[in-house]
């Protein structure tokens, strides 16, 4: 699955009303520890939009973020959206993750 695919699957469910660049930045923010969030300031809105559109791979920013990843932060982010969003995400990801359910959707 590409990052573009991930964005296309999740944005309709948890993307909010902002532009795609804001959504991508919020996803990255949701997986970072507090001491890693300043990394996001090094990238422009156009970079975040290019990641979402698949015109730029996330390789560079992923390398910068990798020492600062926090799986618990992402799980908390997903669980903030409530049960209906979690169940919708499960349905969308079922072809990729057959074992996905409401308890592990954030992990």
pLDDT in tens, 51-71: 999 999 999 999 999 999 998
Q: Which pLDDT score, from 0 to 100, does residue 80 have?
A: 92
The mean pLDDT value for 13-29 works out to: 93
CB proximity list for 61: less than 8 A, separation 6 or greater: 28, 39, 43, 47, 51
> Residue 74's closest CA among 32, 12, 40?
32
**Largest Cα–Cα separation, the chain:** 36
Q: Which pLDDT score, from 0 to 100, does residue 36 have?
A: 92
Measured distance CA(99)–CA(7) in Å, rounded? 20
> Residue 77's closest CA among 89, 64, 67?
89
């Amino acid at each position: 699955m590409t990052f573009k695919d991930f964005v296309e699957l999740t944005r309709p469910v948890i993307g909010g009303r902002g532009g795609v660049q804001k959504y991508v930045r919020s996803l990255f923010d949701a997986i970072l520890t507090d001491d890693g969030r300043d990394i996001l300031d090094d990238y422009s809105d156009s970079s975040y939009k290019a990641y979402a559109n698949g015109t730029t791979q996330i390789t560079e920013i992923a390398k910068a973020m990798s020492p600062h990843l926090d799986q618990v932060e992402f799980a908390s982010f997903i669980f903030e959206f409530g049960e209906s969003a979690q169940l919708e995400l499960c349905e969308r990801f079922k072809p990729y993750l057959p074992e996905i359910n409401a308890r592990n959707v954030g992990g």
